[in-house]
Structure 1
Amino acid sequence: MPDRDFLSWPFLEPRHREWAEEVEAWAAAHAARLSEGDTDAAVRALTRAMGDAGLLRVAVPRDGRLDVRSLCIARDTLARHSGLADFAFAMAGLGTGSVTLFGDNALKDQFLPAARAGAALAAFALSEPEAGSDVAALSTSARRDGNAHWRIDGSKTWISNGGIAGTYVVFARTGEAPGAKGLTAFLVPAETPGLTIAERIEVSAPHPLATLRFDGLRIPDTHRLGKPGDGFKVAMATLDVFRSTVGAAALGFARHALDLTVARASNRHLFGGPLFNQQMTQAAIAESAVDVETSALLVYRAAWLKDSGAPRVSREASMAKLHATEAAQRVADRCVQIHGGHGVVRDHPAEKLYREVRALRVYEGASEVQRIIIARAEQARAEGAA
């Protein structure tokens, strides 16, 4: 029985409780079934089914307002049922988030309805072979090509939905200033000449990932998101919304792992009684329960702050992502340990959770980067109070 107590917390409103029930009902009926088989086909099927059910209205809102608490509830719920369902929902939001926040009305009208309906997949192309967490080091370039176009050259890697997305939000160096101040964001349709899929990347928990190459790609200026030189602002504003939701996905995985742990400990007999009777087992379960609850508090606090109008929640979102992803790894590890040999059999639920959780500590800012963000925020707070 999934934990629903958090829905009564003051961070959430009645509409969030209704949304949680809607997502839970859909996930229980469809998420696991649609996640089976070929990964690309499963992501397409999940995205389409969520679009048909109206769930993507939260990830790709008509009014342009991204409600972070609703996004977190969806990822918390979907990850508990299926990692691939969570991935499909998350990419519908992250892949279009920059357009929702910074696109003009013409661009929104042209591309967002299909994404909202689940008919088109989207991607967020920021990372490069030599520039992942260090956005200021991006080398993909965009140069003016006449008065109304740009030419993009370079490559991106570790791009989720790479190879199957219909659109890519691409960040490139346009040179208005050194470092992070000289970047610009563009919306690039997948069929644009000059864009090729250089490599599909296989990872431990299957997701569509690819390396993209741009060779003289020509894109109209009308596809620019924000002003020239605003690319870092676009990227950070988008991640400010979605970073907390990574913590929510980790929370959903951790909830599932805790449920599996309790069930295994209750049903497995050892030394004449249930495994649960062993004090070390009880300690492991207690530690996992605390990890889950503290993650939930940090995730929904960060989401509430953003929805309440805080201009930046980088510190709080980083705390939520850091703690929730690291905690989920601990909970998943305890789950594997309690399951013994079964826990390391490929595709056993405990083993699969362990693999799915691991990537969350890396993408959208590795744990080490989150620690830097938090530490710098604390330094700034101390200097401001001095």
Structure 2
Amino acid sequence: MPDSSFLSWPFFEDRHRTLARDLDDWSRDRLGSVDHADTDAACISLVAMLGEAGWLAHSAIDPDDPGTLDVRSLCLIRETLARHDGLADFAFAMQGLGMGAVSLFGTPEHREWLHQTRAGRKLSAFALSEPRSGSDVANIEMSAVPDGNGYRLNGEKTWISNGGIADVYTVFARTDAAGGSKGLSAFLVPADTPGLTVAERLDVMAPHPLARLSFEDVKLDAPAMIGLPGEGFKIAMSVLDVFRSTVAAAALGFARRALDAALDRVRTRELFGAPMSELQMVQGHIADMAVDVDAAALLVYRAAWTKDMGAPRVSREAAMAKLFSTDQAQRVIDKAVQLHGGDGVRVGCITETLYREIRALRIYEGASDVQKIVIARSVIGGGA
């Protein structure tokens, strides 16, 4: 296992240290066998593997013994998986994010889905973004109009992770036409519900299953609603409050992998008759990378620890962790590419893969500029 000295920090308990080391061993043994040629098939296989090994038990609460999500465990798992395989991290993350609203606000009936998603037998997805409302959640236009004893959904969702392969979607729609954040509600929608179709599969530079979804007169019974009418914005923000820190953890995993690759390169590659590691400029790059990695880790696990200690919201801490970790991971990976020279941009080189993987993390679940707004409002409002 690469540098694990951070596990001795006071943020963690012995169970977290054991979890990180066991998952690292499992990932090294198992993840190399997954064929990534077919992204959908790889994701389905990874979810099954993670479920069978018990790792997905950490992605959501136990429906038979409801408790709280352990955010430090979520972050450690995402960091470790991202260091080994970005698609494995994605597969784990979507099971957690997709069922986040059910874990935090679902009824016992909703939570029956958790038996399937935690075991890796069913895939979940979080359907929040729309063509005209990405980071601006309050601007959601999808309608959920009362219809008899339920609701009828119409509209579109886009950039939906696991779109097209998920078995169940958590969907946010407008139940109050007046607009604004107070008019949103959340629904649990099985993928085979009539009227729900995959309008388009979306290809991106780091292959992941993404889709634009169409909802045309999708009829839902009243119990499909998660929480109460008008609580959708609160539910979405509460879920992101938990899982935003885990995005930062994934970025941290990518950065650690890039630093390890850079260290291997400079220790073994000779330049001007000596190892690259003896060049002061190279040492300066390595020092910058190491500082960025440790600083990101401190912010990630401060946010996770604060939430686990009972803080009702960690919007500021999670925003700081995501902003810094994703932005600095981009810098760390770019330095690793530079230290690899031409090899760094060759398809198949780990630095080239990481370079493509990291970029999306600075956009999804709140772009970097949005995180700055969250942080600034907290500080200006006296939350510092």
TM exceeding 0.5: yes
Task: Tell me whether 1:77 sits opposite 2:67 in the alignment.
Answer: no
Instruction: Tell me how far apart the structure 2 counterparts of residues 178 and 197 of structure 1 sit (CA, whole Å).
Output: 26
Maintained 8 Å contact 1:64/1:101: no
Matches within 5 A, 1:220-235: 220-235=221-236
Question: Do the aligned partners of 2:34 and 2:42 also contact (CA within 8 Å) in 1?
Answer: yes
Q: Secondary structure at the match of 1:178?
A: coil
1:185 equivalent in structure 2: 186
CA offset at residue 347 of structure 1? 2.5
Structure 1 residue runs without a partner (length 5+): none
Indicate whether 1:54 and 2:54 are aligned. Answer: yes
Partners of 1:26 and 1:273 lie apart in 2 by 37
Corresponding residue SS for 1:370: helix
TM-superposed deviation, 1:64: 4.1
**CA deviations over 1:187-238 (Å, ceiling 9, x no partner):** 0000000000000000011100000000000011111001000000010000
Which whole-Å CA distance do the structure 2 matches of 1:39 and 1:64 have between them?
33
* Mapped partners of 1:156, 1:95: distance in 2: 14
Distance 1:270 1:260 in 2: 17
Matched with 2:371 is 370
Tell me, in whole angstroms, the C-alpha distance in 2 between the residues paired with 1:340 and 1:98. Answer: 45
Report the secondary structure of 1:124's partner residue.
Answer: strand
User: 2 CA distance for matches of 1:158 and 1:95?
Assistant: 14
- SS of the residue aligned with 1:106? coil
Indicate the residue corresponding to 1:164 in structure 2: 165
1:67 aligns with 2:37: no
1:47: how far off? 0.4
Residues in 2 aligned to 1:6 and 1:282: alpha-carbon distance in whole angstroms: 22
Aligned to 1:122: 124
CA distance, structure 2, for counterparts of residue 190 and residue 22 of structure 1: 34
SS at match of 1:245: helix
TM-score, normalized by length of structure 1? 0.97
TM-score, L = length of structure 2: 0.98
Specify every segment of 5 or more residues in structure 2 that has no aligned partner in the other structure, as ranges: none
- In 1, distance between residues paired with 2:144 and 2:282? 56
Query: Which moves more between the two structures, 134-143 or 172-181?
Result: 172-181
After TM superposition, where is structure 1 displaced by more than 6 Å over at least 4 residues in a row? none
Is residue 2:255 matched to residue 1:254? yes
Which range is displaced more, 360-369 or 13-22? 13-22
Kindly state the Cα deviation for residue 36 of structure 1 after the two structures are TM-superposed.
2.7
Using the TM superposition, give the Cα deviation of residue 19 of structure 1 relative to its aligned residue in structure 2, in angstroms: 1.2
Q: 1:185–1:225: 8 Å Cα contact kept in structure 2? A: yes
Q: CA deviation at 1:35?
A: 5.0
Moved more, 23-32 or 324-333: 23-32
Amino acid at match of 2:173: A
The size of the alignment, in residue pairs, is 381
Give the Cα–Cα distance (whole angstroms) in 2 for the partners of residues 178 and 361 of structure 1. 28
8 Å contact from structure 2 (residues 326, 362) kept in 1: yes
Aligned residue runs from structure 1 range 1-386, under 5 A: 1-34=1-34, 36-62=36-62, 63-109=66-112, 111-146=113-148, 148-175=149-176, 178-381=179-382
| 8 A contact 1:35–1:84 mirrored in 2 | no
Q: Percent identity?
A: 59
SS in 2 for 1:311: coil
- Counterparts of 1:280 and 1:202 in 2: how far apart (Å)? 38
- The CA deviation string for residues 300-339 of structure 1, in whole angstroms up to 9 with x for no partner, is 0000000000011000000000000001000000000000
Q: CA RMSD in A?
A: 1.1
CA offsets per residue over residues 105-128 of structure 1, 9 Å max, x none?
11112x111101100000000000
In structure 2, distance between residues paired with 1:12 and 1:35: 34
Shift in alpha-carbon separation, 1:37–1:64, aligned structure 2, 3 A: farther
2: CA distance, partners of 1:332 / 1:228: 44
| Contact 2:258-2:336 at 8 Å conserved across structures | yes
CA distance in 1, matches of 2:193, 2:250: 33
Q: For 1:125 and 1:221, how far apart are their aligned partners in 2? A: 19
Give the aligned residue type for 2:321: A
Post-superposition offset of 1:37: 2.4
Distance in 1 separating the partners of 2:179 and 2:207: 37
